[in-house]
Amino acid sequence: MKPPQNPKTTPPQDPPRTATQKPPRISFEFFPPQTLEASFRLWDTVRTLAPLGPSFVSVTYGAGGTTRKLTHEAVETIHKHYGLNVAAHLTCVNASRDETLEIARSYKQIGVKEIVALRGDPPKGEGRFTPHPEGFASSVELIEALAEEGGFHLRVGAYPDPHPESSSMEENVAWLRRKVEAGAGSAITQFFFEAETFFRFRDACEAAGIDVPIIPGLLPIENWKGVRKFAKRCGAHVPDWLDDAFAKAARDGREDLLAVTLATELASELIEGGVEDIHFYTLNKPHLTRDIAHALGITAKADLNQVA
């Protein structure tokens, strides 16, 4: 994604259309609700985006395993009532090996066939991940156990910018290779802001012999200040020109239009570079994601009555 020309003075334009491109396959990430209001927002998000025909949707697992039960309930409801292919997040945090594998088996019993296997973030207030005394020490150990369990397509995380706990891009690539060797069948990247970031990472992975699909993760920018803080915590590089662009858009009251335009341009560059799948981090706010999908030529594949 190239910076807009003179972002301090140029207002965001209407989102670009990409009718000449083949639309990508898309997928969405949701997170489980912890309040009644959040519950309504989740189901509105699912109803809005399900008709776009995602290849899968994922449901997150709160930091420290705090939403374990809520995640299971959301996964089961989306799977049963919306007919979507759900990839349930599963982490190593605050659970023994037996407890973690029992959660996986419970997903298998309700027909869920995909898991996003992650180490997981430490509980709030703890600076670093500490394994449960009887738990998995890393995502690689979790992936190995799930692969041995069988019955799941295993997706994993990947970092096109250096992970906060890694020393280099080479270390990121090496960790992803270990995950693939342990049994991962595909990877979803952390969000990023420029296509070159993804292409550099993809090339490095190919050079390292990693041959599973690597799906770029895109985060529609609903709140620039919040996204900027989030990017800093997870190690995503923030180009300086984005600050100028969103400052100007805020003065014009056109932040949403800028967000859709930038995400559509980024997705288009990825598609031109051979990307066939894009994963959207929706934050349970569907409208920007829907507008970006429409700009990419993706329209509803089913009526709401067919997916609800």
For the stretch 228-276, pLDDT in tens is 999 988 889 999 999 999 999 999 999 999 999 999 999 999 999 999 9
For the stretch 178-217, pLDDT in tens is 999 999 999 999 999 999 999 999 999 999 999 999 999 9
What is the domain count for the chain?
Answer: 1
For residue 1, tell me if it sits in a domain: no
Interatomic CA distance for residues 108 and 120, integer angstroms: 21
**In this structure, what CATH number is given to the domain that contains residue 78?**
3.20.20.220
Verify whether residue 102 is a known catalytic residue: no
Share above pLDDT 90 across residues of the chain, in percent, rounded to a whole number: 73
For residue 7, tell me if it sits in a domain: no
Q: Which long-range contacts (CB under 8 A, 24 or more apart) does 169-175 make?
A: 169/200, 169/201, 169/204, 170/204, 172/201, 173/201, 173/204, 173/205, 173/208, 173/210, 174/208, 175/140
For residue 39, tell me if it sits in a domain: yes
For residue 82, tell me if it sits in a domain: yes
For residue 243, tell me if it sits in a domain: yes
For residue 293, tell me if it sits in a domain: yes
For residue 170, tell me if it sits in a domain: yes
pTM (predicted TM-score)? 0.89
Domain of residue 180: give its range.
25-307
For residue 9, tell me if it sits in a domain: no
Identify the CA nearest to 61 among candidates 113, 110, 115, 109: 115
Residue 168 pLDDT greater than 50, yes or no: yes
Identify the CA nearest to 215 among candidates 152, 158, 138: 158
